[in-house]
Amino acid sequence: MKFYRLTPEQRRQILITEGIKLEDIDQHILERLDKLSENVVGQLRLPLGVVQNLCVNGKKYWVPMAVEEPSVVAAANHGANIFAKNGGVQSNSKRQGIYGQIVLKVDEYFSLVDLEKEFPELIDDANQKFASLIRHGGGTRKITANQKDDLVYLKVLVDPAEAMGANKTNSILEFLGAKLENFAGVEEKLFAILSNYPSQLTTARVELDPKTVGGQKVAKRVALLSKIGWDNPYRAVTNNKGIMNGVDAVLLATGNDYRAIESATAVLASQDGQYRSLSKWTMKDNKLIGTLTLPMAIGVVGGSIKARHDVQQSFSILGNKITSKDLSEIIVSTGLANNLAALLAISTVGIQAGHMKLQARNVVAELDANDKEKQLVLDKMVTEKNYSESHAQELLQKLREEK
């Protein structure tokens, strides 16, 4: 029998007989996971942390973050606290839809003008075929096309309502592609699939009193670092990684496709031909102003969101009536909070001091020691600002000798 047709336990047994060590897992959990993916043999767990006080558009949120790096959660909380002292984040979303692409190969008898006349009827046909999407507030909105030599590129805008919409969009595109194959002059449909090109853009904006970030000197340094990130791709990519630390953690916690967002942000950062920082920080009227715009093709329904208890827990933390627009604005605001915290660290004590202090927890967690010993070792490492694994072992040994 093929491996994917085996039960999870049978697959696990094959790996075990080959000498692979697998973690124990509850049978019920294993069976549930097997319904979500392919060739399932276990699970990979991530800690779920929270941002305690993110204020967006006048409303306070607990924000779930699934990430194993403590400094990411700490940074998001630090940035969010500063935002709260300044009235919070103002955010807005443009959620017209996501793009799909159909590419046709055509011959000399093809007329783009004649094809464009068919677009209104094609849109109506798609919306009748996928009427359930219309009932949920979405639907096929627009079709545009351009021709280059013997290839015709159609761009289809689909509003997925409260879902991310990848599967529904692909179904709509295949439906339209099949119809277009019969159009005069079309030799074949090359493909019909969604595009992860930046769409559903969301912007977050804050105005900060310099006093809340450490004074005028620090605020101006943040603005200068932002300018360097705009001009220099070596700085820009690291700046953007810091933003995506927070963004990806919330996307993971809410069961959304962080890979699609990562791909789209890379395009957005390179829109003018040079890779640039996604965020901007400037000084204006004695205020430090920060803005961040990201593509947020996400959802609060669809995919595995409803099927996963861990993801539903995250939505309970956020508030069960949250919309995709709300979630988009929360996620981008979190990314801006992480970005501010990173820029402040670079502008003052440096990024490594706080980072290593938090990472010391991971070093201590691996010690063969009881909880009291681990805490004493951790406290000593922080005091001495020495976070190496060898130093942790030395401190443990010295502690035991003193006893």
**Residue 239 CA, distance from chain mean position:** 15
**Pseudo-torsion of CA 365, 366, 371, 376, nearest 10°?**
-80
Model pTM?
0.85
Residues annotated as part of the active site: 69, 241, 257, 355
CATH of domain 98-194: 3.30.70.420
Domains 50-90+200-348 and 98-194 agree in fold? no
Residue 185 backbone class (left: φ over 0; alpha: ψ -120 to 50; beta: rest) = left
Q: Cβ distance 167 to 305 under 8 Å?
A: no
Residue ranges per structural domain of the chain: 3-34, 50-90+200-348, 98-194, 355-402
CA distances (Å), origin 2, targets 6, 40, 206, 245, 255: 7, 13, 55, 38, 29
**CATH architecture of the domain with range 50-90+200-348:** Alpha-Beta Complex (3.90)
pLDDT of the chain, 403 residues: tens digit per residue:
899 999 999 999 999 999 999 999 999 999 999 999 999 999 999 999 999 999 999 999 999 999 999 999 999 999 999 999 999 999 999 988 999 999 999 999 999 999 999 999 999 999 999 999 999 899 999 999 999 999 999 999 999 999 888 999 999 999 999 999 999 999 999 999 999 999 999 999 999 999 999 999 999 999 999 999 999 999 999 999 999 999 999 999 999 999 999 999 999 999 999 999 999 999 999 999 999 999 999 999 988 888 899 999 999 999 978 999 999 999 999 999 999 999 999 987 654 555 566 566 777 777 777 877 777 777 777 776 676 777 778 777 777 777 7
Closest residue by Cα to residue 385 from 353, 358, 342, 351: 353
